[in-house]
Amino acid sequence: MTKRKLGPFEIEPVGLGCMSLSHTYGPPPSDEDGAKLLNRALDLGYDFFDTASIYGVGHNETLIGQALKGRRDEFVLASKCGLRVGNDEARATRILDGSPAGIAEVLDLSLTRLGVDHIDLYYLHRLDPKTPIEESVGALADAVKAGKIRSIGLSEVSAATLRRAAAVHPIAAVQTEYSLWTRNPEIAVLDACRELGTTFVAFSPVARGFLADGVGDASALTKGDFRRHMPRFNPPHLEANLKLLAAFKAIATELGVTPGQLSLAWLLNRDDRLVTIPGTGSIPHLEENFGARDIVLAPEVMARLDALINRHTVSGPRYAPAMQASIDTEDFAD
């Protein structure tokens, strides 16, 4: 499979989402093991790494900066701003801050942690309802002019927001969850990306590990695993979705590929312009994911997968109501 365009860059269609090296899906690997995985990724040919200031509250960027020092010219680096952790007296909270001052502050911190003088692709992690998107993108455009970032991205935004942003500055990429079981981008964002020449970046392309057969039952999710708070991973939805997974795994076996590879291949064969960023803390899974680049699926196989797992057959919403309210992406329920 040939490389794909992302802003001014040409990259492999399978990149690396680095979030799980710091938090979210249970205990992360040690920094030593995380560094080994990052370097193995470069050795395999990965050339696109995705991180964010909020991942591990800065830990993820620091890990990448230290682990890949001296190899900066081997990959396209993406990070994100606009979402940070605050603290009230009871618990940690997520704060949306897309203000120009907030963006400038977080960007400088990210550059320091990463140990670089510029970031190739810098996303607004979430839309801040208190700040017009035009102001947020204007601040990012100023960072482009200053040489601190090379291109601008948006994460979890609607087609309408993307169009407003693109009127201020070209948007190189939009990042949103997309897989067989999360089809929200098909409502409008994919069409808007094609219209504007914006690359679509699919995060959680193996359904947060579900389509890679990484979730046996709800009890397998450890304390601190973000999926414990997601409806699809809890009763009664999980039991219904596991029935879909059994049929999906049977198709993967028939084709001689792993379930994770089949999930990635469905995306890569569906749209020859999008890019995927599966995450993992496992080197064998890292190697497995990269192999999906070479899998060609026949039209009849694509049709079988579409019929098996889609928004009508998957049980449960993508997010609980509170989390859904914090994103700008279109939802089928609307």
Residues 56-80: tens digit of each pLDDT: 999 999 999 999 999 999 999 999 9
Q: Which two tokens stand for residue 146?
A: 């200053």
Backbone dihedral region of 187: left (phi > 0), alpha (psi from -120 to 50 degrees) or beta?
alpha
pLDDT in the model for residue 221: 79
Max CA distance (Å), the chain: 56
Amino acid, single-letter form, for residue 21 = L
pLDDT in the model for residue 218: 64
Collect contacts of 24-33 with beta carbons under 8 A, ≥24 apart: 24/225, 24/226, 25/208, 25/209, 25/225, 25/226, 25/227, 25/281, 26/221, 26/222, 26/224, 26/225, 27/222, 27/224, 28/56, 28/281, 29/281, 31/63, 31/66, 31/67, 33/281
Q: Which two tokens stand for residue 15?
A: 């990149």
Q: Which residues are catalytic?
A: 55
Range from 1-5, 245-249, 304-308 carrying the lowest mean pLDDT:
1-5
pLDDT in the model for residue 162: 98
Candidates 3.40.50.11540, 3.20.20.100, 3.50.50.60, 3.40.1260.10; CATH matching 4-210+271-294: 3.20.20.100
Mean of all residue pLDDT scores within the chain: 94
